Chain A
Amino acid sequence: MARMAGRRVLLAVPVLLLVTFGVFAVAAASPFDPVTAYTGTAGLTASQENLDQIRANLGVDQPFTARWADWIAGALRGDLGDSAVLRMPVADAVAERLGWSVLLAAAAFALAVLLGTAFGVLAARRPGGPLDRCATAIAYTLEAAPAFWLGLLAIWLFSLQWGVLPAGGLTDTASDTVTAGQVARHLVLPAAVLGISQLPWFYLYVRQGVGDALDEDPVRGARARGLAERTVLLGHALRSGMLPMLTLIGSRVPELITGALLVETVFSWPGIAAATVQAATAVDFPLLAALTVLATAAVLLGNLLSDLLYGLADPRVGFDG
């Protein structure tokens, strides 16, 4: 298993290199000019020598392949450049914000898995029953609904109409310390919206998996032995029905990141996804490049995790692949 994990990590290296190369190539092909971005309005009146000097200082007079190599070398030392929009080194910004994003994503993921499994099992028990029809219709609607729209409506209902939950941010505006209670209160809405936007997929997979498993021989055998319905459902059908879903949990990372980009922006959550949108709006290339590569690494890690989980959950799978 360690061998397999090691091989997969090695295979991820060329992918990451290719993605960073692509990022620099796209930037070089675009009309974006780091010098204009750096100087701002002062660049309009500056002399050509000054501009050339800045260009040389920033290192952008070199071809993009050389800048790419520099960036890789810097990244290996932990230096990802400086972010203009956040006014701090990119590495510090990531370190400061990563934890909040992981907290949000983990809470949302837990919610989606728990609710999706519960409703999926209940719906699979009686396919075509009222619960199944209602839950499936809601699941399709939620899947079609954009996360930002759900977030805005949630803010309207819970923060403005009922006034029970804060509309955004990490702490109350008056507070200058971060306390666990405040963070928990501010976490509820974004995590619920992100979780609900991920929920339909889990629900439909569990429903399909458990529904298929209920029609198979092991379940028929369990019923014939007179086991309680509860044991049949949770001990037999759910266990084999969960298997395909388990393998795909890791591959949900891209959707989770997509959802986080929208939800963190709507709720002003101080995570890295919100920083990505800020970086894109302000064309802050060092920050945007680092976060794009980080997201790719997260996706690759998710894929690795799902392969490992599959191996752990299903003893028939070897780790030779």
Chain B
Amino acid sequence: MADRRPVPFAAPAVWRSRGGTRRSTRTLRIAASAAVLVCVALAVLVVPPAVDLDQQAVDLPSKLLPPSAAHPFGTDDVGRDLLLRCVYGLRVSLVVGLVAALAATVIGTAVGAAAAALGGWTDRLLMRLVDTFSSVPHLLLGIFVVAMFRPGLWPVVVSVAVTHWLSTARIVRAEVLSLRSRPYIDAAVSGGAGRLRVAVRHLLPGVLPQAGLAAVLMVPHTMWHESALSFLGLGLPTHQASLGNLVQTARGSLLAGHWWPTLFPGLFLIVPTLAVAGLAGAWRERLNPRRRAELTL
């Protein structure tokens, strides 16, 4: 059997352009990801104030129209334009996702920094707490919190935040532990800085880039969780329809054979997630080009 594989040490570790004038797929991927995220930002920030259309406008004669020029994504079961509904839903999902990710990052950074900076028993106790939290499946813990506090905006944000701070806490702890032994910390301590000052002025700025990157990567996750909760009927109320609510309300139309109210909200969730993953993958390849990224979602 002929060996069609190139000799191992010549095997390309990174996808490269095969020469010629075509741009490499990597550059294309980064450009496409960035373009998608810019579109998302524009859609979310500009459309609701600038476009004078009511996303709740019911138009029963034109209900469940398939995608057309007038309604690019079609209409739902009471004739609302799905493109507009999806943009508003993305806005709600994104806001909930951002707030939850921010809250989770703050909790995670505080716990991780406290564990590493205090050390000893505090460290062990906090890390056991992190282990305990991570042995409950996240969506289940979220469902439990929302069920007990009744579905609504804040219970959803809290339930997503309390399930997502764990990885940030681990990252920040490891980072602080490695920073602690640096000479500039010794210098600060011998200069008479107290514990709190060292932690806030010298350690925290060092971990913020890592925590920030983790927060950005967390946003697709938090949006996914919010959508799953909303889909199960345990998320946001229907007047604050998020992408998950849209899929949930589309179930009836789907069983009647209309696919578009289900398809498009899902795509609105998938495409930005892929864009974030694309940029994160490119960033990781830059930092460590030898190792192709595993799953970064």
Contact = CB atoms under 8 A, between A and B. Distances in A.
Interface of A: 15, 18-19, 22-23, 26-27, 30-32, 125-128, 133, 139-141, 143-146, 148-149, 152-153, 155-156, 160-161, 167, 200-201, 204-205, 208, 211, 214-215, 219-220, 223, 228-230, 253-255, 257-258, 261-262, 265, 276-277, 279-281, 283, 285, 288, 291-292, 295-296, 299-300, 303
Nearest to A291: B140
B136 A295 contact: yes
Given A140-B277, A156-B259, A208-B294, A145 B232 contact: no
Given A148-B228, A149-B266, A204 B8 contact: no
B77 to A, nearest CB: 15
Q: Which 4 A-B pairs have the closest CB atoms?
A: A280-B147, A149-B266, A30-B148, A144-B273
B277 A144 contact: yes
A276 B234 CA distance: 12
B274 interface: yes
Contact of A219 (B8, B138, B141): B8
Report the contact-size class of chain B (Cβ under 8 Å from the partner): 35 or more
A31 B150 CA distance: 8
Given A144-B220, A281-B233, A281-B234, A126 B5 contact: yes
Given A126-B5, A277-B232, A285-B148, 18 more contacts: A31-B149, A145-B266, A146-B228, A148-B228, A152-B250, A152-B262, A156-B257, A160-B255, A201-B295, A205-B295, A215-B8, A229-B1, A253-B137, A254-B137, A280-B232, A292-B140, A295-B136, A299-B137
Contacts of B135: 15, 19, 296, 299-300, 303
A246 B252 CA distance: 41
Nearest to A159: B255
Contacts of A219: 8
B28 interface: no
Interface stretch (B9-17, B50-58, B109-117, B186-194): B9-17
Contacts, number: 170
> B137, B263, B265, B266 — which one has the most chain A CB atoms within 10 A of its CB?
B137
B170 interface: no
A229 B5 CA distance: 9
Given A229-B1, A288-B147, A220 B266 contact: no
A30 B11 contact: no
Contacts of B139: 257-258, 261-262
Contacts of B12: 127-128
A143 B137 CA distance: 17
Interface of A is mostly: helix
Interface in B1-45: 1, 3-5, 8-9, 11-12, 15, 25
A214 B11 contact: yes
B269 interface: yes
Given A141-B270, A141-B274, A153-B262, A26 B132 contact: no
Contact of B143 (A30, A128, A261): A261
Contacts of A155: 254-255
Contacts of A201: 295
Contacts of B177: none
B224 interface: yes
Nearest to B29: A137
Contacts of B8: 214-215, 219-220, 223
A253 to B, nearest CB: 8
A67 to B, nearest CB: 14
> B8, B12, B131, B227 — which one has the most chain A CB atoms within 10 A of its CB?
B8
B255 A125 contact: no
A146 B224 contact: yes
A70 to B, nearest CB: 19
19 contacts: A19-B132, A30-B148, A140-B274, A140-B297, A144-B269, A145-B269, A149-B262, A205-B294, A215-B9, A220-B8, A257-B137, A258-B140, A261-B140, A276-B140, A280-B232, A281-B232, A288-B147, A295-B140, A299-B136
